[in-house]
């Protein structure tokens, strides 16, 4: 079998906009995700970055099966999730688990930690016989650095960082191969953030996991990711290795995004060539024609309005970039 554990082909999610109460008619659609191709290889971490509203969370929900794609195909370990039958699909889903952003709302306050971490076994009872579950839950708590004796405690007895560990333990319960982390550390303080990132990296080494790591914090993504995809308005605008994206960004949006990240080094103040974008992200219900970034782009020409640039390798760019005028620009950014 190939090394690709997860593949998305032309994945699209449109949320219909309707008018009228009794006789609803569709008057448009929010194009949250609009044709995304991704491949995740075994053991790697794919970072997905983008601003709010770019569709990264909708993409995540489709990948784990919480949202049905409008069109396009999703392959988990070679299985087309839309085509296979119920049992097979459940087995596929078992292999891809989600760690959610908010450790406060993603845990049921009325359930004990043991019940939360053990709940996946209720959904997939074939994984582990009932009598063995409690021991397994304790093992999982130990694995994520929590005290196994705290199995009967409730979420409110834990701090934010510890709760995120509970969420990670729950995601690991079914021995998945792929973990999808949707902003796993953005609700945490810096010092706690580092603890959770270290834990995720340790688990990847020990269990051979593949990660999809969605975040808006570019320096965290750079630290953890092998490859990075940059999203804008439902599309991937640039994808490449961590080095290619951060050192040689070729899409103007990537360049602006990187240059906007404040650098924790006062000596670089005023020396950075900061690209301050004007305006806001356009509405995904009515994206601009052609290149979606053209309304905020300083390089935009007539061709950008007429023809949507393909996400492809060009002469001036060693990795795929969706810009007619892709070229490397040196951006002084988050890390030197």
Partner 1 sequence: MSTDVNVKLDALPGLDSDALPLEVKDLHVEFRTRNGIAHAVNGVSFSLRAGETRAILGESGCGKSVTAQAIMGILDTPPGFVTGGEIRYRGVDLLQLREAQRRQVRANRIAMIFQDALSALNPVFTVGFQLGELFRKHRGMSRADSKARAIELLDLVKIPAAKQRVNEYPHQFSGGMRQRVMIAMALALDPEVLIADEPTTALDVTVQAQIMALLAELQQERNMGLLLITHDMGVVADVADQISVMYAGRVIEEAQVRDIYESPSHPYTKGLLESIPRLDLKGQELSAIKGLPPLLTDIPAGCAFSPRCRYAQDACRQDPMPPLHQVAPGRSSACHFWKEVKADV
Q: Provide the binding-site residues for partner 1, judged by CB under 8 A.
A: 51-52, 159, 161, 189-195, 197-198, 201, 216, 218-220, 222-224, 242, 256-257, 259-269, 274, 276-278, 280, 334-336
d(CA 88, CA 255): 42
75/246 with CB nearer partner 1: 246
Q: Closest separation between CB of residue 309 and partner 1, Å?
A: 20
Strand, helix or coil at 317? strand
Reading the block at residue 41, the tokens are 């290889």
138/259 with CB nearer partner 1: 259
Q: Closest separation between CB of residue 281 and partner 1, Å?
A: 8
**Residues 6 or more apart from 65 whose CB is under 8 A from it?**
81, 89, 93, 96
* Residue 42 near residue 13, CB atoms below 8 Å: no
Q: Closest separation between CB of residue 137 and partner 1, Å?
A: 23
d(CA 254, CA 231): 9
CA nearest 225: which of 214, 234, 233? Answer: 214
d(CA 157, CA 259): 40
* Residue 84 near residue 73, CB atoms below 8 Å: no
Q: Closest separation between CB of residue 278 and partner 1, Å?
A: 8
* Residue 9 near residue 75, CB atoms below 8 Å: yes
76/181 with CB nearer partner 1: 181
Q: Closest separation between CB of residue 294 and partner 1, Å?
A: 16
d(CA 97, CA 202): 17
HSE-up of residue 63 (Cα within 13 Å, Cβ side): 33
Q: Closest separation between CB of residue 235 and partner 1, Å?
A: 17
d(CA 147, CA 139): 10
Q: Closest separation between CB of residue 197 and partner 1, Å?
A: 6
Sign of the alpha-carbon dihedral angle for 145, 147, 148, 151: negative
175/198 with CB nearer partner 1: 198
105/198 with CB nearer partner 1: 198
75/293 with CB nearer partner 1: 293
192/318 with CB nearer partner 1: 192
């Amino acid at each position: 079998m190939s090394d690709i554990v997860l593949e998305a082909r032309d994945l699209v999610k449109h949320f219909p906009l309707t008018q009228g109460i009794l006789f609803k008619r569709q008057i448009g659609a929010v194009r949250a995700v609009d044709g995304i191709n991704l491949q995740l290889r075994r053991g790697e971490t794919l970072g997905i970055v983008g601003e709010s509203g770019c569709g990264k969370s909708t993409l995540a929900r489709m990948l784990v099966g919480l949202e049905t794609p409008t069109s396009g195909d999703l392959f988990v370990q070679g299985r087309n999730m839309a085509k296979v039958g119920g049992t097979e699909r459940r087995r596929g889903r078992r292999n891809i688990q989600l760690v959610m952003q908010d450790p406060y709302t993603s845990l049921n306050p009325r359930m004990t930690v043991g019940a939360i971490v053990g709940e996946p076994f209720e959904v997939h009872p074939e994984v582990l016989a009932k009598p063995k579950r409690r021991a397994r839950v304790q093992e999982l708590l130990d694995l994520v650095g929590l005290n196994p004796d705290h199995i009967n405690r409730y979420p409110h007895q834990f701090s934010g960082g510890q709760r995120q560990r509970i969420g990670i333990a729950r995601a690991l319960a079914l021995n998945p191969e792929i973990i999808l982390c949707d902003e796993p550390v953005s609700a945490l303080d810096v010092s706690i953030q580092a603890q959770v990132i270290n834990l995720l990296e340790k688990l990847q080494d020990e269990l051979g996991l593949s990660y999809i790591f969605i975040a808006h914090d570019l320096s965290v993504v750079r630290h953890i990711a092998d490859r990075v995809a940059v999203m804008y308005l439902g599309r991937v605008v640039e994808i490449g290795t961590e080095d290619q994206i951060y050192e040689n960004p070729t899409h103007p949006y990537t360049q602006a995004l990187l240059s906007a990240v404040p650098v924790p080094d006062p000596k670089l103040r005023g020396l950075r060539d900061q690209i301050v974008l004007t305006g806001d992200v356009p509405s995904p219900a009515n994206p601009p024609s052609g290149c979606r970034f053209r309304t905020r782009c300083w390089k935009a020409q007539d061709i950008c309005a007429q023809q949507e640039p393909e996400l492809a390798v060009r002469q001036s760019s060693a990795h795929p970039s969706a810009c007619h005028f892709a070229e490397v620009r040196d951006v002084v950014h988050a890390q030197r």
